[in-house]
Amino acid sequence: MKAYKIKIELQDSEPLIWRRVIMPAGATFNRLHDVIQNVFNFNSGYPDEVYHLFEFDLSADNIRVTNDEEAYQEHQHFKKNRKEIEERMKDVPPEFARFNEARLENLNTIIRKPTGIKIDKYIEKYCEIKYTYDYGDDWRILVTLEEIVEEYHYGYPTLIDGAETAPPEDVGGLPGYYEFLKIYYDPEHPEYEEIRAWAKEQRYREYDAEFINRKLKSLKYKKTEWDKINENEN
């Protein structure tokens, strides 16, 4: 089975928080999102509920892949009423012209749902894809294609390598995370017990490759001949 070896990096983290994963081809962007969520300490990937909005930037093709239903519906409305909306936007005072140009450019961006578009064409074409998760904490993640693998025997992703512990949800972006770490590892800090309890609620845990791979195994989206052989042997 064809697969992709990818590197997933939390941009601007220092030291760099990264994971190297191999995942079967034929995955949707939603499944790539699941992979990212599961290799970090985030909670919006399968099998969990949607926790925050996210998007993949395919701007070279004028596409934004997102779970933002409001943005999707707005784009669908624009497609159906394009002429009327464009005419209405022309009839504005000059001081609003620049705003309308930006607005029109935004409306013309194609919005795709992550469950309805596969990664293959884009990961091979771009080699690097930017992913943003949680517009509040504003996690910027870079997915880089390192290798196309022609013979991969499993229908689920596998973590190969990585470094550093990923931040918990709702910690306040990278500045908040670094402040969190100071308290989390300082038993003398007055907020130590409180932050430890909060971290547990957020399912925060230190980097654990074995645990991550147990989670990734649940992301089986293809049953390969190798899987069938293993099932028969067991």
pLDDT for 86-114, tens place per residue? 877 777 677 666 777 777 788 889 999 99
- For the chain (length 234 residues), average pLDDT per consecutive 10? 97 98 96 97 86 96 96 94 82 70 83 96 98 97 98 95 98 98 98 98 96 93 52 47
Q: Which domains does the chain have, with CATH numbers?
A: 1-67+113-166+207-226 (3.10.290.30), 68-109 (no CATH), 168-206 (no CATH)
CB distance 212 to 51 below 8 Å? no
Cα separation, 198 vs 147, in Å, equals 39
Please tell me the predicted confidence (pLDDT) of residue 174.
98
pTM: 0.89
Please tell me the predicted confidence (pLDDT) of residue 233.
47
Three-class DSSP labels, 7-57? EEEECCCCCCEEEEEEEECCCEHHHHHHHHHHHCECCCCCCCCCCCCEEEE
Please tell me the predicted confidence (pLDDT) of residue 90.
73
Q: Is 168 helix (H, G, I), strand (E, B) or coil?
A: strand
Cα separation, 202 vs 121, in Å, equals 35
Cα separation, 44 vs 48, in Å, equals 6
Please tell me the predicted confidence (pLDDT) of residue 54.
98
**Residue 51 C-alpha from the chain's centroid:** 12
Cα separation, 193 vs 184, in Å, equals 8
Please spell the DSSP secondary structure of 119-160, one letter per residue. Answer: SHHHHHHHSEEEEEE-TTTTEEEEEEEEEEES----SS-EEE
Task: Characterise 168 by phi-psi region: left (phi > 0), alpha (psi -120 to 50), beta (else).
Answer: beta
Q: Which of 103, 116, 99 is nearest to 74 (CA)?
A: 103
CB distance 34 to 219 below 8 Å? yes
Please tell me the predicted confidence (pLDDT) of residue 234.
41
Q: Is 163 helix (H, G, I), strand (E, B) or coil?
A: strand
pLDDT tens per residue, range 62-74: 999 999 999 999 9
Please tell me the predicted confidence (pLDDT) of residue 222.
61
Please spell the DSSP secondary structure of 57-121, one letter per residue. Answer: EEGGGTEEEE--HHHHHHHHHHHHTHHHHHHHHHSS-GGGHHHHHHHHHHHHSEEE-GGG-BSHH
